[in-house]
Homo-oligomer: A and B are copies of this chain.
Amino acid sequence: MSRKKNYALKLRIWIEEDQGPFLGIGRVTLLNKIRETGSITNAAKAIKMSYRSAWQLVEDMNLRSDLPLVEKIHGGPTGSGAVLTPEGERLVKAFEKVQEEIRAHARKKIRTLFPKQKS
């Protein structure tokens, strides 16, 4: 019997610590936007999130991480801004790398689920 459908295995990863979910794709996207835009305000706009929600996520991440992930910069010639700390940069890159590695591993498993997928 040949398969008529085309199946794919999808996956989502996230990090939990003792208090529950700590970092997933949503927060990683926010961190990437903070790097790109230089502020929490602009990052929030870019992902259509309220400033208040974005700010709360940043506070939560900074509080629950061993080292802060985002540093807020007050004043200066361009007004208030925010940057990723070295730990924030490291963790975003490591998350994306691990996610891609696990997805590559998972892609090989589709034959276990649908042995005749390619026939």
> Which residues of A are interface residues toward B (Cβ below 8 A)?
1, 3-18, 21-22, 64-67, 91, 94-95, 97-98, 101-102, 105-106, 109, 112-113
CA distance A5 to B14 in the complex (A): 16
What is the CB-to-nearest-CB distance from A93 to chain B, in angstroms, rounded to a whole number?
10
B6, B10, B95, B109: the one contacting A113 at CB < 8 Å is B95
Question: Is the Cβ of B13 less than 8 Å from the Cβ of A10?
Answer: yes
What is the CB-to-nearest-CB distance from A22 to chain B, in angstroms, rounded to a whole number?
7
Question: Is the Cβ of B11 less than 8 Å from the Cβ of A17?
Answer: no
Question: Is the Cβ of B3 less than 8 Å from the Cβ of A66?
Answer: yes
Query: What residue of chain B has the Cβ atom nearest to residue A106's Cβ?
Result: B102
